[in-house]
Structure 1
Amino acid sequence: MDRRHAIYEWFRINRFKVDLTATVILLLLFGPVYLLAGRPFLFVLSCGLLLPLAWRRTRPVPAAAVVVLVCLVQWAAGAEPVAGQIAVPLIIYATAAYGPVWASRTVLLLGILGGVMLTTREYAGSAESGILGLTIGALYTVLIWMLVLVSWTLGDLTRVRRLQLQALEDRTRRLEIEQQQERQLAAADERSHIAREMHDIVAHSLSVIITQADGARYAAAAKPELATEALATIAATGRDSLSEMRRLLGVLRNDDDSPTRPQPRLADLDELLLGFRAATLQVAFEEQGVPRRAMPAGAELTAYRTIQEALTNVIKHGGPTAKASVTLAWQGRGLQVDVVDDGRGAAADPPAAGGGNGLRGMGERIALYDGSLSAGPEQGGGFRVSAFIPYSEA
């Protein structure tokens, strides 16, 4: 099957070579007989009709023009039909199949007109007269018209099929381009997702490590056992963060052994809160109501990261004595997440270069699920982060 397809492709690509070979064969079949019969003029006419067939698909309009011109010379000279006249239906077919629309319609009209001109000349001055002569002339005219119409119809059907195949090829090409663009967009979205994940992991872990390191430095002289505990917390946090980052960056590899992306769920909140409490942040947790149905894994990840980012900001900006509370309220439409602290808030610290990515990333995550986010200082001090995530995805 592949070999047949390769042969077909070669014939389709090398049109001129195929048509030239066929033309040479026809010339050898229908040309020399007139030279052997001592009729050179008919030899020239036959060759003049057959030669344009070599360009019938690559240059259909000039080839058709040459055939029409030779036919007019033949009619004007009163020469009899020759074997090369087989080129007429072939050129009509080729023009209808591969030429422009106006040329296709023109050769159809010329073919019909040529049939009338040929039979009129043949039978107008013949011995046949009366009704018999008219009947024979009309019969030959109808036969010529049928040959012309069949040739033109087959060519037009070939044109329609060729245009359909071309449209399918163009559509396939567009689909390939669209798929490539979709892959590029997916890769860009994956990079953005990884950047947000790494920001959450690094910001949380470094905040814990910095807090523990500061506590260990101050407690090293007075209470060495506290310093030892702080260093153990730093080591454990660093190992956990490194392991999570390795799993996260594993999605950038192409091998099948790469681990999947870490997907924390709301069930992992206890472990998250223990990490913050180990970093000396007092966190209260409350869950109200029950979920009406399960939330998508991505929505739970978004809620998890929102709480993680909000508590990380408390450690960064709330001050050493800040306390925080986390409330999960299951409502009829979705999940309400509130993280409130009594610290001094982010406004008390000067903004760092490139800061604000945490809240911006939170908003982007929540917007993917048709949720809403509000964050700002509380009256009387402190800071509140409120997010609502509906059950259904966007």
Structure 2
Amino acid sequence: MAAAPRAAPLTATTAFAHRPRRGMVGRVLHWFASHVQLVDTLLVAALSAILVLPFALVGVGSTFDRTNWQNDTWTGFLISVLVTLPLIWRRTRTVPAAIAMASVCVVQVALGVQVVPADALVLMMVYALAAYAPRWASISGFWLAIAGAAALIVRYRAMPVLTSTDSAEGIQEPAQPLFQIVLAVTIFFGFIAASVTAAWLLGAITRNRISQQRELREHAERLEIQQQQERDLAAADERARIAREMHDVVAHSLSVMITQADGARYASQNDPEVARRTLETIAETGRSSLHEMRRLLGVLHDDSGAETRPMPTIADIPDLVDTVQLSGTRAKLTVSGDATRADRLTAGAQLVAYRVVQEALTNILKHAGPEPQATVTLRWGEQMLQLQIDDDGRGALSSDDGAGNGLRGMRERLALYDGSVQAGPRAGGGFSVHATLPYENGAS
């Protein structure tokens, strides 16, 4: 329980007080990663102070030895500078920097220039090639360093040891037994080769770590894009669903209310009682529509306190037909088959069935003409529910309401539950809508 307050965000002062070392290390690492070229330049400056500056200090006041220039101090100073300088670009221009350093080393061995401490920095370049350069450059740099080690040993170790000059006779003869020479050369070469291999392996490990970090970043970016796309698709799907719900609620309710209002206008002149009942029907329809609108608006605003009225189901279809009858349209409901199979439909599928009937009846009120007769039939089959809505009107039912939410909305709703719909004028007059809605597992 005492650790709970630590979950709150820390200010700069408290962060420094509680985690000074961790925060400082993070800032230093971030600075290093953001200033690669500057960091490498400072590193070369530090190495030069150790490996190059001593040659300059020793050479001050001395003259250049032309007879033994390979071992002169100023020659060592020049080679040290040329070997050290390419390390400034070891991470930003790795391959050109490695070529420059290798060229200096080749010239050094070819001319027999003295070995300088800065030659050990070749290991840093081997590491850089393995870590930052392309694969071909990494492998080429490794074998070139091994070959350079062999050339170094042959040039500076094997040749001087194998032969020596007798000053009296002027005859060259072996200075040491061959076995001792081979053993010394082998040990020395093994040490250098092991150092090169270790540097290359460390670079390869760094390369893998960098590759993994890059893959993690790319994966995180792809995941973020994918999540954003999923959110966009979900939002678009939700907008389409709400548009269908709004159409179903508003179109049906307004159609009923308009029909009732027209009837009340004429009935008020002859039969006030009929007019009163008609106005009550209009008020009830308006209240019901208002409840539906509030529910949908609550979903849009994501208000947990909004009214959550139960979604209509197949059990509400009789009330829907009764509402249409109150509007003056002759409508009847026929049910065949085992109605208990409604349990095999999910709540979403039952809502779809209700909306299909609601849409069909709404279109009858809007397009079928005066005093149409509608028949709603529910057939509970063994594998699916069949919905049949027929009327004897003009038979010219439009496919949508002008906004693309008519029969197309039916098809979209039914398609979500593997259902289908067929609609068109009847041969004997009127219009027919036939929809099928499979049960959840298709079993009876």
TM-score, normalised on structure 2? 0.81
Residue of structure 1 equivalent to 2:7: none
Point out the more displaced range, 196-205 or 233-242: 233-242
Amino acid at match of 1:308: Q
Residue of structure 2 equivalent to 1:33: 54
Measure how far apart 1:321 and its partner are: 3.0
Residue of structure 1 equivalent to 2:5: none
Measure how far apart 1:142 and its partner are: 1.9
Q: 2:202 aligns with which of 154, 176, 180?
A: 154
State which structure, 1 or 2, has the greater radius of gyration over its C-alpha atoms: 2
Q: C-alpha distance in 2, partners of 1:8/1:299?
A: 57
Is it true that 1:134 corresponds to 2:182 in the alignment? yes
Residue of structure 2 equivalent to 1:169: 217
Q: C-alpha distance in 1, partners of 2:403/2:136?
A: 67
Q: 2:359 aligns with which of 294, 309, 313?
A: 309
Q: C-alpha distance in 2, partners of 1:256/1:313?
A: 34
Measure how far apart 1:270 and its partner are: 3.4
Q: Is the CA contact 1:277–1:283 (under 8 Å) kept in the aligned structure 2?
A: yes
Q: Is the CA contact 1:248–1:262 (under 8 Å) kept in the aligned structure 2?
A: no
Measure how far apart 1:243 and its partner are: 2.8
Point out the more displaced range, 87-96 or 121-130: 121-130
Q: 2:275 aligns with which of 214, 221, 227?
A: 227
Measure how far apart 1:90 and its partner are: 0.5
Amino acid at match of 1:30: L
Residue of structure 2 equivalent to 1:217: 265
Give me the CA root mean square deviation. Answer: 2.5
Q: C-alpha distance in 2, partners of 1:356/1:118?
A: 83
Amino acid at match of 1:225: E
Measure how far apart 1:384 and its partner are: 2.3
Q: C-alpha distance in 1, partners of 2:258/2:273?
A: 18
Describe the SS at the equivalent of 2:311.
coil
Q: C-alpha distance in 2, partners of 1:233/1:78?
A: 111
Q: Is the CA contact 1:309–1:358 (under 8 Å) kept in the aligned structure 2?
A: yes
Measure how far apart 1:292 and its partner are: 7.0
Q: C-alpha distance in 2, partners of 1:6/1:299?
A: 57
Q: Is the CA contact 1:244–1:262 (under 8 Å) kept in the aligned structure 2?
A: no
Q: C-alpha distance in 2, partners of 1:255/1:47?
A: 72
Is it true that 1:294 corresponds to 2:328 in the alignment? no
Q: 2:88 aligns with which of 41, 54, 58?
A: 54
Q: 1:346 aligns with which of 395, 404, 420?
A: 395
Is it true that 1:15 corresponds to 2:36 in the alignment? yes
Q: Is the CA contact 1:345–1:381 (under 8 Å) kept in the aligned structure 2?
A: yes
Point out the more displaced range, 11-20 or 218-227: 11-20
Q: 1:269 aligns with which of 311, 317, 335?
A: 317
Listed one character per residue, the Cα deviations across residues 113-172 of structure 1 (whole Å, up to 9, x for unaligned) are 101111101221234452211221122122211111121122122222222321222122
Q: Is the CA contact 2:257–2:282 (under 8 Å) kept in the aligned structure 1?
A: yes
Q: Is the CA contact 1:370–1:393 (under 8 Å) kept in the aligned structure 2?
A: no
Describe the SS at the equivalent of 1:57.
coil
Describe the SS at the equivalent of 1:116.
helix
TM-score, normalised on structure 1? 0.91
Q: Is the CA contact 2:400–2:406 (under 8 Å) kept in the aligned structure 1?
A: no
Q: Is the CA contact 2:242–2:296 (under 8 Å) kept in the aligned structure 1?
A: yes
Q: Is the CA contact 2:255–2:366 (under 8 Å) kept in the aligned structure 1?
A: yes
Q: Is the CA contact 2:367–2:398 (under 8 Å) kept in the aligned structure 1?
A: no
Describe the SS at the equivalent of 1:37.
helix
Describe the SS at the equivalent of 1:346.
coil
Q: C-alpha distance in 1, partners of 2:413/2:111?
A: 86
Residues 1:351 and 1:22: Cα distance change in structure 2 (over 3 Å): closer
Describe the SS at the equivalent of 1:380.
coil
Residue of structure 2 equivalent to 1:125: 160
Point out the more displaced range, 191-200 or 29-38: 29-38
Structure 2 residue runs without a partner (length 5+) = 1-18, 60-72, 162-174
Describe the SS at the equivalent of 1:146.
helix
Residues 1:353 and 1:183: Cα distance change in structure 2 (over 3 Å): closer
Structure 1 residue runs without a partner (length 5+) = none
Q: When the two structures are aligned, how many residues end up with a matched partner? A: 392
Is it true that 1:278 corresponds to 2:321 in the alignment? no
Is it true that 1:326 corresponds to 2:360 in the alignment? no
Describe the SS at the equivalent of 1:283.
strand
Residue of structure 2 equivalent to 1:42: 76
Q: C-alpha distance in 2, partners of 1:298/1:101?
A: 57
Amino acid at match of 2:34: I
Aligned-pair identity in percent equals: 45
Is it true that 1:112 corresponds to 2:173 in the alignment? no
